[in-house]
Amino acid sequence: MTAWQFVAATWPWEPSVVLGCAALGIGYLAAVRWRVEGRAGWFLAGVFVLLFALDSPLDTLADTYLFSAHMAQHLLLLLIVPPLLLAGTPASLLAPAWQTAPFRAIARALGRPVVAWTLGVGAIWVWHIPALFNATLDSGGVHLIEHLSFLVTGVIFWWAILAPLPEARLAPVPAMLYLLAAALACSVLGIVLTFARAGLYPAYLLPVDPLGLKPLIRAGWKLSPETDQEIGGLLMWIPGGLVYLCAMLGVLMRWYRWDEQDADGVVGGAPAPDAAVPAAPVLPAGELHAR
């Protein structure tokens, strides 16, 4: 089977996914007045990753053949798509809603570090309980709920780090601890999956093979059920942990930039005559403010 034959055979072409992603991208561009620059690139990248995760050969392999493909799909939905969407959302889009008491109350309740962390990390742990994971392979409805829960809890988790509104973000030190704890929790799950007995998810032991891909996967790619499960665990353990590490580095860079801005107007260790003296940092709702 050539690469083109493989892609043609495994691309699902789900109209609902394609139309949903197109509507999301067009709606965003309309909201920002079609200015494809700056933050827009991040948001559109998130839409494209979402489309790839749900409507590409990855989805076919994940649904039927490979646990490792399913894990890669989960990582994209939880650790890649939500940060990109948030990074591409300008504060001006949310500022009007933030002025309303109900939206602000909900955002603050869900944005509490303990709540956001538990939802974001808990989702990946809960859905990898064998009974629930196997249910997603048996039921399209349960599978849809799983994917939606990853996207929603992912946005809630990353809101504390990448919220478009600075006052909704965690201060640097709590943000670092928040991300480190998530990295450790997901690494533990990855270790458990890597060293668990083969067949933790029985559907991948003897997969139904409507496309005739099993010989290619087993003989061509040398992916036994044991190797497949080990790769899936390693994906959660190492690349998943690297995402949190990169986010921690991003927080450090933002903190450094804040320090530089806080030092503006300081000459020779004392404020310049025409510079306002910066106020001491405060931490309302976990956000670090300057000036």
Distance CA 122, CA 252 (A): 26
Q: Please say if the pLDDT value at position 236 is more than 90.
A: yes
Tell whether the torsion through CA atoms of 183, 168, 49 and 43 is positive or negative: negative
**Per-residue pLDDT reduced to its tens digit, 56-97:** 999 999 999 999 999 999 999 999 999 999 999 998 888 888
Q: Which tens digits make up the pLDDT trace of 161-220?
A: 999 988 899 999 999 999 999 999 999 999 999 999 988 999 999 888 989 999 999 999
> Distance between CA atoms of 45 and 50, rounded to whole angstroms?
9
Q: What is the pTM of this model?
A: 0.86
Query: Could you tell me the end-to-end alpha-carbon distance of the chain, in angstroms, rounded to an integer?
Result: 63
Interval 95-139: pLDDT, tens: 888 889 999 899 999 999 999 999 999 999 999 999 999 999 999
Domain limits, the chain: 9-93+103-263+281-286
CB atoms within 10 A of CB 291: 10
* Bridge partners of residue 227, in order along the sequence: none
Q: What is the pLDDT of residue 17?
A: 95
Q: Is the confidence at residue 16, as pLDDT, over 60?
A: yes
Helices (H), the chain: 3-10, 15-31, 40-54, 57-60, 67-75, 81-87, 91-98, 101-110, 113-126, 130-138, 140-162, 172-195, 214-215, 225-237, 239-262
